[in-house]
Homo-oligomer: A and B are copies of this chain.
Amino acid sequence: MTTADLTTLDQAGLEAALQKAGDTVKALKAKKVSKEEVQPAVDHLLAVKAEVKRRAEQAQKDGTAPKEFDRAALDALLAQRFFVAPSFQIYGGIAGLYDYGPPACALQNNILAAWRHHFVLEEDMLEVECTNLTPESVLKTSGHVDRFADYMVKDVKTGDIFRADHLVKQVLKQRLDDDQKLKSGLKVKVAKGKPQPVQLDKEVRDEYDMILETLDNYVGEDLTNLLKRLEIRAPETGNELSEPVLFNLMFETQIGPTGQFRGFLRPETAQGHFLNFKKLLEFNNDKMPFASASVGKSFRNEISPRQGLLRVREFTMAEIEHYVDPTKKDHPRFGEVRNVVVPLYSASAQAEAAGPTKLSIGEAVDKGIINNQTLGYFVARIYLFLLRIGIDPARLRMRQHMANEMAHYATDCWDAEIQSSYGWIECVGCADRSAYDLTAHSKRTGERLTVQERLAEPIVTNALELDILQPNFGKTLKKNAKVVETYLNGFKNEDEEWNEKELTKLDEEIKAKGSVTVTAADGNQYELNSTLISITRKTKKVSVRNYVPNVIEPSFGIGRILYQLLEHSYYVRQDDEQRAVFKFRPGIAPNKALVVPISQSDRETFEPHIKQVVSALRRAGVANKVDNSGASIGRRYARNDELGTPFAVTVDFQTLKDGTVTLRERDSTKQIRESISTVVGLLKELVEESTTWEAVAKMYPEFVAQEV
């Protein structure tokens, strides 16, 4: 598409073009092509951006601009109705730490209950609870002590600290903004002592745009050079910055009074599962495959967290570790998800900037887009779970990691990304961690974290073996016998099998020269001949196979999912801009039913009926709250719309005559009128999601007469 064509596109077409243009630049940059080659793509991206901006300004002028999502209004509502609050707010708060008030706490409990039902119960997973406190040795093995870090820079005079990539982003965006203002003749205010903003050449603008699109690629020296070349300084003071250094994101502490155990708060729950692998396998009667699951807190000492609930220092995770035979990654229940259609954004599609494709999981695995059935099974199950709790399918995709962004332990990884006003955000990761962790912990501790499979038929093997010829070996090498033996054992792999190639080499050399000289771990050389070792081919019957299982890990950031669900559920009534609503599904909503008397004036008259409704609801297991405050009935409904309460049961003057009550649904605001027992029965079904309001509204006449 040429830039000129852009004006002919409809709005959806333009948005698609914007996405594609951005993806194209990213893909080219990931391929590390030359600046010249990427330039046309950058030009095109800027042209699309310009057209988007032009249209938005035009719509603003015409008054036809669509009502934009107002994050500030949502944030205000979340604070006002105590969904969340900054922790220790009366002490000034600390960035990245939040408390959940009653509505968010109930919402999270319901999401976790749905999660346990969807995964743990349905798949018979083994739930464990491991400690947050973790000794250094464990996290050293897992790689977190050395590699779980972000780059930070320091203001050399004040000591203020910034996360390097975030700072670059902030400064470049500021420069681009200033440039645009200057070009349109606006003045840019600058505090005293700070550098004056300058107009930028087109070339520089283009470079900044490109850096912003590909910031993740800059690490180590590249990042140091970038900061120097861009002359990035501390934004408030204008002081110089130190070179970027890695800051480990784990919270450190001492376990025990003597300080002998350096420890950390875990950055993920996964390691606890792995350390218990042998016990879990035994608990599962040694049957493979199986999964462990855990819900708990994890901690990351973010350098300077922003983005509200999406980047926090303490958060709830729900993690699954599914252990599977590396040679049999089929999944017994794959047939159940084969036809589930999922928006998949594969690594190759990203490289070609092609956008996500809707594909059945079966097809994706058959074509090799998803590596294996087990990974595919979980990609589908994660997708279904997110839909089940109410995530908007139009703002949900499964994106494969590109090779350069994969975690150090992963061989393939798919993220569930959910779109909100913060962009596309990773909320669930589904990685194939291979045998990385179990192998590492096993090597470090000497504990064998393997599965023993009894073979249906013994396998006859025919392989080279090395034998040490005692007593001559001991007599000849004396106190060095041990170190030489250790050297020779180095020719075995993890499964205790001899390396055929190395043994052949050794054998040939001895046969050719009569002896071979080797260098052991003590640095000394030893001469070995056929009186000390023998290398022969042997035939053996093997009836057990040992293997380290591979691990498929679906890992859920519950807080992120919760926030995205809040954005997806939030809307403002069209007929009344003052009235915000959360359209939570009945199964997930914090509270299920509001119970109200129509007015407070005859409180005692209504009281027994209210009690009757409440006790019937409690028996039916429907969470409910009574609001018998003096506020108008409309106000009380509105207050519960703001909490996302899906239903309201109203006791009114007709109740006193015939024992009927009204049942109101939140989004339609429609009501029906039936006996208390009918309404309670319907509510039970609605909340269990075994029926829908649409079905109920069809079966029962609408009630419209009630006046407030």
Contact = CB atoms under 8 A, between A and B. Distances in A.
Contacts of A126: 101-102
Nearest to A296: B297
Interface in A338-360: none
Contacts of A263: 94
B121 A623 contact: yes
A623 B254 CA distance: 40
A445 interface: yes
A161 B258 CA distance: 7
Which label, helix, strand, loop or mixed, suits the secondary structure of the A interface? mixed
A256 to B, nearest CB: 7
Nearest to A618: B121
Given A82-B279, A253-B252, A279-B85, A129 B100 contact: yes
A299 to B, nearest CB: 7
A124 B625 contact: yes
A552 interface: no
A629 B127 CA distance: 21
Interface string A222-263: 000000000000000000000000010001111111100101
A397 interface: no
B81 A135 contact: no
Nearest to A264: B253
A98 B275 contact: no
Contact of A303 (B102, B161, B257, B278): B257
A649 interface: no
Contact of A87 (B109, B130, B314, B629): B130
B129 A108 contact: yes
Contact of A127 (B105, B161, B255): B105
Contacts of A445: 90-91
A349 to B, nearest CB: 37
Contacts of A278: 90
A504 interface: no
A257 B161 contact: yes
Nearest to A124: B625
A374 interface: no
Contacts of A102: 126-128, 280, 283
Contacts of A256: 94-95, 161, 301, 303-304
Contact of A314 (B91, B132, B275, B629): B132
Interface residues of A, number: 76
Of A128, A272, A278, the most chain B CB neighbours within 10 A belong to: A128
B258 A629 contact: no
Nearest to A631: B285
B254 A252 contact: yes
Contact of A91 (B94, B138, B299): B138
Contacts of A261: 94
Contacts of A629: 285
A641 to B, nearest CB: 16
Contacts of A88: 134-135, 137-138, 275
Given A127-B105, A152-B257, A279-B85, A132 B297 contact: yes
Nearest to A129: B100
Contact of A280 (B82, B279, B282, B303): B82
Interface in A157-208: 159-161
Contact of A99 (B85, B121, B130, B285): B130
A441 interface: yes
A161 B256 CA distance: 9
A97 B285 contact: no
Given A127-B106, A303-B257, A137 B276 contact: no
A255 B159 CA distance: 16
A313 interface: yes
A125 to B, nearest CB: 9
A133 interface: yes
Nearest to A315: B131
A519 B444 CA distance: 69
Interface in A51-101: 81-82, 85, 87-91, 94-95, 97-101
A132 B129 contact: no
Interface in A355-402: none
Nearest to A445: B90
A159 B90 contact: no
A682 B314 CA distance: 44
Contact of A251 (B104, B109, B254, B276): B254
Interface in A277-293: 278-280, 282-283, 285
B255 A87 contact: no
Contacts of A159: 258
Contact of A82 (B94, B98, B160, B282): B282
Contacts of A297: 132, 297
Of A254, A257, A441, the most chain B CB neighbours within 10 A belong to: A257
Contacts of A623: 121
Nearest to A104: B129
Contacts of A251: 133, 253-255
A497 interface: no
A265 interface: yes
A447 interface: yes
Given A102-B128, A275-B88, A255 B133 contact: no
Given A88-B135, A101-B126, 16 more contacts: A82-B279, A87-B130, A97-B131, A101-B276, A102-B283, A105-B128, A105-B129, A121-B623, A124-B625, A132-B297, A247-B257, A252-B254, A256-B301, A256-B304, A257-B303, A297-B297
20 contacts: A82-B282, A87-B130, A87-B131, A87-B272, A88-B135, A89-B275, A90-B447, A94-B133, A94-B263, A95-B256, A99-B131, A101-B276, A105-B129, A109-B127, A132-B314, A252-B254, A253-B253, A256-B301, A257-B301, A257-B304
The 9 A-B pairs at the shortest CB distance, nearest first, are namely A100-B129, A90-B447, A102-B126, A99-B130, A90-B445, A105-B127, A251-B253, A82-B279, A253-B253
